[in-house]
Chain A
């Protein structure tokens, strides 16, 4: 039992659970302060996503997007690059994929892969400038990538308004992606699944991106831990100088880590446009800017943890949507909760209670009694 509590994984898991609990409690306190019926609001927040099939669908759809964003950030954070240009990449790849799906006059069998490819190309290219500026000139990738996000959002709006805008509608949006280019449901077309399949297709847009997401998780894991490239990324992240003396081309590794993460960001954008919104529409990636970072921090930059963290935060996002619909509390509560969790988790010296209690073997207990910190 002692050994169990000693393991680092268990300790950090406990730390995460504690942080999430505190975050959600904090959210509840805020709800108490602002809501006329806080119990109803918070119940909707915490149980809403499970109440109807379409809400379960919302939850899974959100989670899929988050998985791709989380993986993208995980890769750059492993190289210790504070590159946060995913929002821009995501929205531009949604634009590119959507345009191809709408207008490329070829068979759907080619059009859908072409849409994916277009998204990835745009996303990777968009990251080139901040990546190169960081690697070869040392310009802060944090600031440049944020500037590029702002530019991307405006470029997106410009192209959408000028070239794709549907006439005679309220709102800035393109035509709907033709049915044969939309992503179909993840439930296989088998006789005994027929009913489930129909119900899910009707109520949700959970597509076969489920499998792509799982594949992406595995791919990111293998890439980071089983390839030379991944080793180089982690070496640069651990200590760039040391990596350089070890013969690693640090600048090239920084650039390629950012570009590779762009592929995952593109999957998020393509998923959004071909499965969820099914058209290019203003504000489609609203509120996703920080999600990748939240997920990466929650998992300690481990790709294998990304699906779990994404399901959790996807659940909160879907729940906050339900809450806003049925109560007087706004969905932005979820960002406040996430910010609290992020602060708690990144604070190395916070939540020491857990660490002390679980590290108490006899020797350390003696240390603690004497008041010395190990």
Chain B
């Protein structure tokens, strides 16, 4: 009976539409993480940058009344925080994990600190009249019975998120900058000898990743909800990093991984209507991420062993003894 309810829920247009909406704040940081990782500078501060984007968007929109100005400001805030990370890591030689953690600490503490200083609240900005971005009704598709309900009428960020996958794809594979990024990510020394300014490329990559992470944050605070909450990124930045891992630095597989995590998230929401304890249901996306990482790692390991075996069988004579013992 209840399972029936869930199944019917999952195959409803409402659920599929909600998957798209819930995916949005995961796709953005995934794409941001992808660009940075492709250039060899994994951005470990996505979570924190999302918070700054969400925070700035809410406060600027409440104070100016202009949604697009707020989005712009949020993007700039994201880029700025990413530049803080970039300077620490690239200019001053901070370990990227530790610098990333420092930026996250700065963000989770700093946003709450500022929120308290500005409006005297520590939990959320529900007292603030902030704005949300408009929903988009796609002219022709909207009128198609089922497809229209699934695809049309989402907040503009949802469309930007999917569009950004295409943008990232073009950037990485069809532009000079993208080729440079991948070259730098693959082998910085070789890239240098080709005359590529490695640090410059990495600065740009981190700036782009900050921009995307900030949009992810704003899709939470200006579309999914209409306010900022402390720690509202709730691990999505980290899930984005996991998606980049699973996607093996390619846009489409990264998108698929992000959507699987988004699906788990939406499923958790759907199960929330049942009598299963919400706290356990809320753990599903995190558990899915861990399982995804485990499965991917097992598969990677198998591929590596296969490759080594193949190489060993082809080059048996030339190899040192220990390398042939697998």
User: A-side interface residues toward B, CB under 8 Å?
Assistant: 30, 34, 82, 84, 129-130, 133, 137-140, 142-144, 146-148, 150-151, 154-155, 157-158, 161-162, 290, 293-294, 297, 328-330, 332-336, 338-340, 342-343, 346-350
Provide the B278-300 mask, 1 if CB < 8 A to any CB of A, else 0: 01101100110110011011101
Provide the B242-273 mask, 1 if CB < 8 A to any CB of A, else 0: 10010000000000000000000000000000
**A336 and B117 alpha carbons, distance in the complex (Å):** 14
When A332-B109, A335-B105 are in contact, do A348 and B290 touch as well, CB less than 8 Å? no
DSSP class of B's interface residues: helix, strand, loop or mixed?
Answer: helix
A64 to chain B, nearest CB (A): 21
User: B-side interface residues toward A, CB under 8 Å?
Assistant: 44, 84, 88, 91-95, 97-99, 101-106, 108-110, 112-114, 116-117, 122, 234-235, 238-239, 241-242, 245, 277, 279-280, 282-283, 286-287, 289-290, 293-294, 296-298, 300-301
In the complex, the 6 A-B pairs of residues with the closest C-beta atoms, listed nearest first: A335-B109, A339-B106, A347-B92, A137-B297, A158-B279, A330-B116
Return the chain B residue nearest A347 by Cβ: B92
Return the chain B residue nearest A287 by Cβ: B109
Is the beta-carbon distance between B286 and A138 smaller than 8 angstroms?
A: no
**A365 and B59 alpha carbons, distance in the complex (Å):** 52
A137 to chain B, nearest CB (A): 4
Is the beta-carbon distance between A147 and B297 smaller than 8 angstroms?
A: no
Q: Which residues of B contact A350 (CB under 8 A)?
A: 92-93
Is the beta-carbon distance between A143 and B241 smaller than 8 angstroms?
A: yes
When A142-B97, A339-B109 are in contact, do A147 and B235 touch as well, CB less than 8 Å? yes
Is the beta-carbon distance between B88 and A143 smaller than 8 angstroms?
A: no
Return the chain B residue nearest A30 by Cβ: B113
Return the chain A residue nearest B47 by Cβ: A146
Is the beta-carbon distance between A138 and B301 smaller than 8 angstroms?
A: yes
When A146-B235, A335-B108, A339-B106 are in contact, do A133 and B92 touch as well, CB less than 8 Å? no
Q: Which residue, of A147, A154, A294, has the highest number of chain B Cβ atoms within 10 A?
A: A147
**A249 and B198 alpha carbons, distance in the complex (Å):** 37
**A346 and B300 alpha carbons, distance in the complex (Å):** 32
Q: Can you list 27 residue pairs at the A/B interface with Cβ under 8 Å?
A: A139-B294, A140-B242, A142-B97, A147-B239, A147-B290, A154-B280, A158-B277, A161-B277, A290-B101, A293-B101, A330-B112, A330-B116, A330-B122, A332-B116, A334-B109, A335-B109, A339-B102, A339-B106, A342-B102, A343-B106, A346-B88, A346-B95, A346-B102, A347-B94, A348-B93, A348-B94, A349-B91
Q: Which residues of B contact A342 (CB under 8 A)?
A: 98, 101-102, 105
Query: Which of A133, A158, A332 has a CB less than 8 Å from the CB of B293?
Result: A133
B105 to chain A, nearest CB (A): 4
**A350 and B117 alpha carbons, distance in the complex (Å):** 31
B112 to chain A, nearest CB (A): 5
Query: Which of B92, B113, B116, B280 has a CB less than 8 Å from the CB of A155?
Result: B280
A95 to chain B, nearest CB (A): 13
**A342 and B116 alpha carbons, distance in the complex (Å):** 23
Is the beta-carbon distance between A340 and B106 smaller than 8 angstroms?
A: yes
Is the beta-carbon distance between B283 and A339 smaller than 8 angstroms?
A: no
- Cβ-Cβ contact count across A and B, 8 Å cutoff: 140
Q: Which residues of B contact A147 (CB under 8 A)?
A: 235, 238-239, 242, 286-287, 289-290
Return the chain A residue nearest B298 by Cβ: A137
A60 to chain B, nearest CB (A): 23
**A143 and B256 alpha carbons, distance in the complex (Å):** 18
Query: Which of A30, A330, A343 has a CB less than 8 Å from the CB of B99?
Result: A343
B74 to chain A, nearest CB (A): 20
Q: Which residues of B contact A129 (CB under 8 A)?
A: 290
**A341 and B27 alpha carbons, distance in the complex (Å):** 32
Is the beta-carbon distance between A330 and B117 smaller than 8 angstroms?
A: yes
Is the beta-carbon distance between B112 and A137 smaller than 8 angstroms?
A: no
Is the beta-carbon distance between B105 and A290 smaller than 8 angstroms?
A: yes
**A333 and B95 alpha carbons, distance in the complex (Å):** 24
Q: Which residues of B contact A137 (CB under 8 A)?
A: 294, 297-298, 301
Return the chain B residue nearest A146 by Cβ: B238
**A158 and B279 alpha carbons, distance in the complex (Å):** 6
Is the beta-carbon distance between B277 and A139 smaller than 8 angstroms?
A: no
B40 to chain A, nearest CB (A): 16
Q: Which residues of B contact A297 (CB under 8 A)?
A: 98
Q: Which residues of A contact B293 (CB under 8 A)?
A: 133, 139-140, 143-144
Q: Which residue, of B101, B104, B277, B282, has the highest number of chain A Cβ atoms within 10 A?
A: B101
Is the beta-carbon distance between A349 and B92 smaller than 8 angstroms?
A: yes
Return the chain A residue nearest B289 by Cβ: A147
A142 to chain B, nearest CB (A): 7
**A84 and B97 alpha carbons, distance in the complex (Å):** 11
Q: Which residues of A contact B239 (CB under 8 A)?
A: 147
A335 to chain B, nearest CB (A): 3
Is the beta-carbon distance between B279 and A154 smaller than 8 angstroms?
A: yes
When A137-B294, A350-B92 are in contact, do A336 and B287 touch as well, CB less than 8 Å? no
Return the chain A residue nearest B89 by Cβ: A347
Is the beta-carbon distance between B98 and A333 smaller than 8 angstroms?
A: no
Query: Which of B92, B114, B280 has a CB less than 8 Å from the CB of A158?
Result: B280
Q: Which residues of B contact A290 (CB under 8 A)?
A: 101, 104-105
**A343 and B91 alpha carbons, distance in the complex (Å):** 12
**A119 and B294 alpha carbons, distance in the complex (Å):** 27
**A206 and B115 alpha carbons, distance in the complex (Å):** 33
Q: Which residues of A contact B294 (CB under 8 A)?
A: 133, 137, 139
Is the beta-carbon distance between B279 and A155 smaller than 8 angstroms?
A: yes
Is the beta-carbon distance between A335 and B106 smaller than 8 angstroms?
A: yes
Is the beta-carbon distance between A144 and B290 smaller than 8 angstroms?
A: yes
Is the beta-carbon distance between A343 and B297 smaller than 8 angstroms?
A: no
Is the beta-carbon distance between A343 and B102 smaller than 8 angstroms?
A: yes
Q: Which residues of A contact B112 (CB under 8 A)?
A: 330, 332
B60 to chain A, nearest CB (A): 18
**A346 and B94 alpha carbons, distance in the complex (Å):** 5
**A330 and B230 alpha carbons, distance in the complex (Å):** 14
Q: Which residues of A contact B84 (CB under 8 A)?
A: 343
Is the beta-carbon distance between A150 and B235 smaller than 8 angstroms?
A: yes
A334 to chain B, nearest CB (A): 8
When A162-B277, A348-B94 are in contact, do A138 and B109 touch as well, CB less than 8 Å? no
18 additional A-B residue pairs with CB within 8 Å, beyond A332-B112, A333-B113, A348-B92: A34-B117, A84-B101, A133-B293, A139-B297, A143-B238, A147-B290, A150-B234, A150-B283, A150-B286, A151-B287, A155-B279, A157-B279, A162-B277, A290-B101, A290-B105, A294-B105, A342-B102, A343-B99
